[in-house]
Amino acid sequence: MTLLETTVGGLVTANPVWVGSSELTMTLGGLIACVDAGAGAVVAKSVNESAAARRQLDIADYAFVSGTGRVRPAGAARRGDGLLNRSGLAQVDLDDWLAVLAAAVGHGAPRGRPVIGSITLADPVAAARIGRLMAGVVPAVELNVGAPHGREAPAVRRLTEADAVHDAVRVVRDAVDAPLFVKLPGQASDVVALARAARSAGADAVGLVGRYPGFLPDLDGGAILGSWGAWGSPACLPMSLYWVSKARTALGPGVPLVGTNGARTATDVLRFLASGARAVEVVTALWTGGPAVLAELVAGVDAYLRQRATIRGGGLEEFVGSALAGAREYADVPPMRSPAWLPYTARWSRSSGR
């Protein structure tokens, strides 16, 4: 095993930097480009049985938003921008798509870089049928039950209750003879409960978390995109890491987790790993920097882990979840010697003349 090789739900990949499902992985050329750029694994664009979900792609739109709120079109996006978008599923017949997946798998497998099929849930029975066929050509299947567009587009579903997640995953699990990864929403009352439900229904790994519903006025009487959309950004990183770390703590190291939503740099990837993820999916970083970003991320993770190994020993396996050893529940945090808020209120009092 190499320093960066990781196993997630029985799937062995060259490194933990994965590419998530998006328009960038909707063609054979896009899938191959991600493999060749160094991704540990590549998740293909999602499909399902719904013609309406495919038509939704006809109104896809993308706005990139800087940390200061400046809105840029796709061609002017910069590293670190957030992405607000409207999207749909791949517009392709299933048989044709299976052929594309088979070709991509054939390219990635000899390089240790598997290509994973993806289904965005609409009807569980239909998803099971697609999953059964997909498992015949890909080494693993991702089932997305947390699509951020699910609140706006009835052709996809966004499950936020544990019972619903369990029932849907069980139907698909019974049909899919391959590792099954379940991707969950970030906006739910208890994402850990959803992760536990997915696992109890047979998920081999759990993805945390999908992007959030979003809305951004343009202040001229309209809205960016002209509608609601889905939002992901570097600012989402601590929110995503909250659920990854909580799921790792609750479910234990035996449940493989895949992190997503917020990773733009090698440091971001490392923070996902330290929080308990065994792999990290990136998407927006590729929108803003192209496939070459993958080599940068992999090199950064590799350099850090090598340096760490010379000081502490161990490798990726020991690093995953390492941040949790120093994390306490609120009730276990000892009182601060000097309250952290004290200098802030003192400074405010001086500035206000009190």
pLDDT tens-digit map of 286-309: 999 999 999 999 999 999 999 999
> Torsions phi, psi of 64, nearest 5?
-105, 130
Q: What is the pLDDT of residue 219?
A: 87
User: How many Cα atoms occupy the beta-carbon half-sphere of 348 within 13 Å?
Assistant: 5
* Structure-token match 């990290």, residue found: 280
With a CB cutoff of 8 Å and minimum separation 6, the contacts of 313 are none
Residue type, 28: L
Longest dimension (CA), the chain: 73
Question: Is the pLDDT reported for residue 200 higher than 90?
Answer: yes
Rounded distance between C-alpha atoms, residue 278 and residue 294, angstroms = 17
Q: Which long-range contacts does 324-327 make (Cβ < 8 Å, 24+ apart)?
A: 324/245, 324/248, 324/249, 324/275, 324/276, 327/245
Question: Is the pLDDT reported for residue 350 higher than 70?
Answer: no
Q: Which long-range contacts does 290-297 make (Cβ < 8 Å, 24+ apart)?
A: 291/33, 291/34, 291/36, 291/37, 292/37, 293/37, 294/17, 294/19, 294/34, 294/37, 294/38, 294/39, 295/37, 295/38, 296/266, 297/17, 297/263, 297/265, 297/266, 297/269
Q: What is the pLDDT of residue 1?
A: 57
Q: What is the pLDDT of residue 337?
A: 78
Burial class (CB in 10 A: 0-12, 13-18, 19+), 86: buried
Rounded distance between C-alpha atoms, residue 237 and residue 343, angstroms = 28
Question: Is the pLDDT reported for residue 349 higher than 80?
Answer: no
Q: Give the domains, in start order, of the chain with CATH numbers.
A: 6-351 (3.20.20.70)
354 pLDDT band, cuts 50/70/90, is low
Omega before residue 17 within 30° of 0, cis: no
Conformational region of residue 276, where left means phi above 0, alpha means psi within -120 to 50, and beta covers everything else = left
Q: Which residues pair with 145 in a beta bridge?
A: none
- Whether residue 130 contacts residue 49, with contact meaning beta carbons closer than 8 Å, is answered with yes
Residue type, 168: A
Overall residue count recorded for the chain in this entry: 354
pTM above 0.85, yes or no: yes
Rounded distance between C-alpha atoms, residue 255 and residue 47, angstroms = 26
> Torsions phi, psi of 346, nearest 5?
-65, -40
Q: What is the pLDDT of residue 353?
A: 57
Question: Is the pLDDT reported for residue 351 higher than 80?
Answer: no
Q: Which residues pair with 11 in a beta bridge?
A: 8
With a CB cutoff of 8 Å and minimum separation 6, the contacts of 110 are none
* Structure-token match 């998920």, residue found: 203
Give 159 or 154, the one with higher predicted confidence. Answer: 159
